[in-house]
Amino acid sequence: MLLLSTFVVALAGLGGAKPLSDKRWNDVSVKHRWVEIPRGWEFHSTPPEDHLLEMRIGLKQNRLDELVSALYEVSDPTHDKYGQHLSKEEVDALVAPHPDSVEAVESWLQYHGINPADAEFRSAGGEWIVIRVPVAQVERMLDTKYGVYYHAASGSSVVRTMEYSLPTELLSHIDVITPTTYFSTLRSMRATSFLQPQTAPLEDAASFATDISPLAVPASCGTTVTASCVRALYNTTNYVPAATATNKLGIAGYLQEYANDADLQTFFKQFLPNAVGTTFTHVQVNGGLNDQSDPGVEANLDIRNQFAEAISFPTPNIYYSTGGSPPFQADSFTPSNTNEPYLDWLNFILNSSTIPQTFSTSYGDDEQTVPEDYAVSGGFWYVMTNLFMQLGARGSSIMFSSGDEGVGGGNCQANDGTKKVIFQPAFPASCPFVTTVGGTTGVNPTVAVSFSGGGFSRYFAQPSYQTASVTPFLNALGTKFAGLYNATGRAYPDVSAAAEGFQIVINGRVSGVAGTSCSSPTFAGVVSLLNDFRISEGKAPLGFLNPLFYSTAKSGFNDIVSGSNPGCGQTGFTAGTGWDSVTGLGTPDFLRLQALLP
Compare 135 and 6 and report the one with higher pLDDT: 135
pLDDT of residue 267: 86
Give the count of beta carbons closer than 10 Å to the beta carbon of residue 554: 17
For residue 378, what pLDDT band results from cuts at 50, 70 and 90?
low
Q: Which range, 24-38, 117-131, 416-430, 568-582, is most confident? A: 568-582
C-alpha distance from residue 318 to each of 201, 226, 356 (Å): 27, 22, 8
Whether the Cβ atoms of residue 292 and residue 258 lie closer than 8 Å to each other: yes
The residue from 139, 143, 298, 372 that is catalytic is: 298
Query: What is the tens place of the pLDDT at every residue in 10-41?
Result: 223 323 334 444 778 989 999 988 888 887 88
How close are the terminal C-alpha atoms of the chain, in Å? 21
Of 34, 325, 287, the closest CA to residue 157 belongs to: 325
Give the count of beta carbons closer than 10 Å to the beta carbon of residue 107: 16
Counting residues of the chain whose pLDDT is more than 90, the rounded percentage is 57
Q: Is 288 annotated as a binding residue?
A: no
For residue 305, what pLDDT band results from cuts at 50, 70 and 90?
low
pLDDT of residue 346: 84
For residue 329, what pLDDT band results from cuts at 50, 70 and 90?
low
pLDDT at 171 over 80: yes
Query: What is the tens place of the pLDDT at every residue in 242-298?
Result: 999 999 999 886 655 556 678 888 888 888 888 888 877 778 676 555 554 555 444
Residue 298 among the catalytic residues: yes
pLDDT of residue 277: 85
pLDDT at 394 over 70: yes
- Which stretch of 365-369, 494-498, 576-580 has the lowest confidence by average pLDDT? 365-369
Mean pLDDT computed over 458-487: 97
Which residue spans within 96-244 are E strands per DSSP? 121-122, 128-134, 146-151, 156-161, 163-167, 174-178, 190-191, 194-195
For residue 517, what pLDDT band results from cuts at 50, 70 and 90?
confident
- Which stretch of 66-80, 162-176, 343-357, 539-553 has the lowest confidence by average pLDDT? 343-357
Query: What is the tens place of the pLDDT at every residue in 543-568?
Result: 999 999 999 999 999 999 999 999 99
pLDDT of residue 109: 97
Whether the Cβ atoms of residue 377 and residue 393 lie closer than 8 Å to each other: no
Query: What is the tens place of the pLDDT at every residue in 178-212?
Result: 889 888 655 444 444 445 545 555 555 555 556 78
Q: Is 560 annotated as a binding residue?
A: yes
Query: What is the tens place of the pLDDT at every residue in 55-67?
Result: 999 999 999 999 9
The residue from 76, 175, 302, 340 that is catalytic is: 302
Whether the Cβ atoms of residue 403 and residue 429 lie closer than 8 Å to each other: yes
Residue 508 identity (one-letter amino acid): G
pLDDT of residue 34: 85
**SS3 of the chain: helix, strand, coil, percent, to 5:** 30, 25, 50
Q: Is 580 annotated as a binding residue?
A: yes
Q: How far apart are CA 530 and CA 521, in angstroms?
A: 14
Q: How far apart are CA 343 and CA 216, in angstroms?
A: 44
Residue 407 identity (one-letter amino acid): V
pLDDT of residue 204: 52
Residue 457 among the catalytic residues: no
Residue 19: partners with Cβ closer than 8 Å, 6 or more residues away: none
pLDDT of residue 363: 72
Residue 573 identity (one-letter amino acid): F
Q: How far apart are CA 519 and CA 351, in angstroms?
A: 28
pLDDT at 168 over 70: yes
Whether the Cβ atoms of residue 464 and residue 407 lie closer than 8 Å to each other: no
Mean pLDDT computed over 105-134: 93
Mean pLDDT computed over 123-130: 91
Sheet holding 146-151, edge to edge: 41-45, 146-151, 156-161
Residue 551 among the catalytic residues: no
Counting residues of the chain whose pLDDT is more than 70, the rounded percentage is 81
Compare 506 and 287 and report the one with higher pLDDT: 506
pLDDT at 115 over 70: yes
Residue 382: partners with Cβ closer than 8 Å, 6 or more residues away: 4, 175, 176, 375, 376
Which residue spans within 127-269 are E strands per DSSP? 128-134, 146-151, 156-161, 163-167, 174-178, 190-191, 194-195, 249-253
What is the reported pTM?
0.88
So where are the chain's domains?
Answer: 1-598
Query: What is the tens place of the pLDDT at every residue in 77-103?
Result: 999 999 999 999 999 999 999 999 999
C-alpha distance from residue 451 to each of 365, 378, 495 (Å): 15, 32, 15
Fold classified for 1-598: Rossmann fold (3.40.50)
- Which stretch of 1-5, 144-148, 159-163, 587-591 has the lowest confidence by average pLDDT? 1-5
Summary mean pLDDT of the chain:
84
